[in-house]
Amino acid sequence: MSDNSNSNNNNSIDHTKNVLVEKHISYVVNLDNKKEEDFEYWVTEHLRMNGMYWGLTSLYILKALDKMDRDVIINWVLSCQKSNGGFSGNVSHDEHLLSTLSAVQILMQLDALDRLDQDLVAKYVLSLQQEDGSFFGDKWGEVDTRFTYCAVSCLSLMGKLDLLDNNRIEKIADFINRCKNFDAGYGCIPGAESHAGQTFTCVGALAIINRLDLIDRDQLGWWLCERQLPNGGLNGRPEKTSDVCYSWWVVSALSVIDRLHWIDNEKLRNYILKCQDNETGGIADKPGNVPDVFHTFFGLCGFSLMSYFDMEEIDPTYALGTKTLLKYNIKLPWNKKL
């Protein structure tokens, strides 16, 4: 559908039918300008590395990566690396696997991985692996399948997955398997309830270590496609409400196991469109809510994975541009287009 009836006024583009490309670009580019007057900006300072990754990858999907100051970003990212190799969420914060993966992803997206002491990063990641195959998020010892994903993704992106010998890979697979539940979904730790976000991290990690054979695709695909609600949106667990971020967690997992067609893509597309903010740009968790960079990124990922609106293709496992990954010779066996 086009909007030729009112093509002069940018504000009157019908956001329920069109993706507001220009507005989303300006939303992301101007995120930092809000800092003087937005309390939220300050209480999320510790998340800046993730935020940078979400913003930058949003621009990549929108084919507007050139709108960011590459050198400034690279220098800032590098300034967040600690002497042990890990990256912190922001300059004066502590290192963590969550921000370490984001840092590697950003540098890769900006074609600057060579600026990084990759051996040191790998050493940090490996230092967090436990006997049972799980990973700590940092030296303090929280265990979660999110960290497993961060660890294997990070190593794989740097071409260092072979630092994990077969025995260790087996243990990682075993730990993930122990997090699998009665409904075929995955939780944070063994015994924890299935959650679509966690399911993405487990499916992604298994894809990276080449152990997708451990997944019953039909069982898991069914549980995931049951996340779609009558309004077209997806939830993360049974009997919860829809939220745009599951356009990434659910859709990416479905893509990896080749069951994306099991949900109604068009209905989901329409739901994400409705969550766009027609004034400021950006995408919110639900229609009518305040947008943020996290949901903007995940909403755009949804469009990209479902091949709508001619967006740049994002990879469902690594959450990075397919072209970027191919440039680094990373294998993407789950990508049927290749």
Partner 1 sequence: MHGVLKVKTTEEKARELKVKELLKIKEYKEVVSKFQEHKSVGVLDQIGLDISKTVLEWNPEYYTVWNYRRDIFNHFDNTLEKEKVQELLTKEMKFIEECIQRFTKSYWVWFHRKWVSVRLEKCDWARELKLCYKLLDLDLRNFHCWSYRRFVEERSGMPMEKEFGYTTEKIEQNFSNYSAWHQRSSLIPQMYPQPEQLFEKLKEEFEWVRNAVFTEPKDQSCWIYHKWLVGTIKKIPNCNYKDVLLSEVDEINGLIEIEPDCKWPIYTLLTLKMELGVQDKSELQELVDKLKTIDRERINYYLSLEKQWQ
123 binds, among Zn ion, partner 1, none (CB under 5 to 8 A by kind): none
The CA R_g of the chain, rounded to the nearest whole Å, is: 19
312 binds, among Zn ion, partner 1, none (CB under 5 to 8 A by kind): none
Q: How many CA atoms lie within 13 A of 280 on its CB side?
A: 17
Longest dimension (CA), the chain: 64
Instruction: Please select the residue that binds partner 1; options are 9, 182, 329, 337, rule is CB under 8 A.
Output: 182
Site for Zn ion in 259-318 (CB under 5 A): 285
Query: Closest distance between Zn ion and the C-beta of residue 77, in Å?
Result: 25
Question: Which amino acid type is present at position 329?
Answer: N
For residue 22, the tally of other CB atoms under 10 A from its CB is 13
Kindly indicate which of the ranges 124-132, 199-207, 284-292, 305-313 contains the residues binding partner 1, using the contact rule CB under 8 A: 284-292
Nearest to partner 1 of 243, 312 (CB atom):
243
DSSP, res 170:
H
Instruction: Please select the residue that binds partner 1; options are 51, 85, 89, 281, rule is CB under 8 A.
Output: 89
Site for partner 1 in 199-238 (CB under 8 A): 218, 221-223, 225-226, 228, 230, 232, 237-238
- Which residue from 170, 54, 165 is spatially nearest to 101, judged by alpha carbons? 54
User: Torsions phi, psi of 153, nearest 5?
Assistant: -65, -45
183 binds, among Zn ion, partner 1, none (CB under 5 to 8 A by kind): partner 1
46 binds, among Zn ion, partner 1, none (CB under 5 to 8 A by kind): partner 1
- Which residue from 10, 19, 14, 11 is spatially nearest to 302, judged by alpha carbons? 19
Mapped onto helix, strand or coil, the DSSP state of residue 226 is coil
Tokens coding 144 = 């979660």
Site string for partner 1, 295-314 (x = CB under 8 A): x-------------------
Dihedral of CA atoms 230, 233, 235, 240 in degrees, nearest 10, equals -50
Nearest to Zn ion of 133, 185 (CB atom):
185
135, 143 contact by CB (below 8 A)? yes
The residues that touch partner 1, with contacts defined as CB under 8 A, are 37-40, 42-47, 88-89, 92-94, 96, 138, 140-142, 144, 181-183, 187-189, 191-195, 218, 221-223, 225-226, 228, 230, 232, 237-240, 243, 259, 261-264, 267, 277, 284-286, 288-290, 292, 294-295
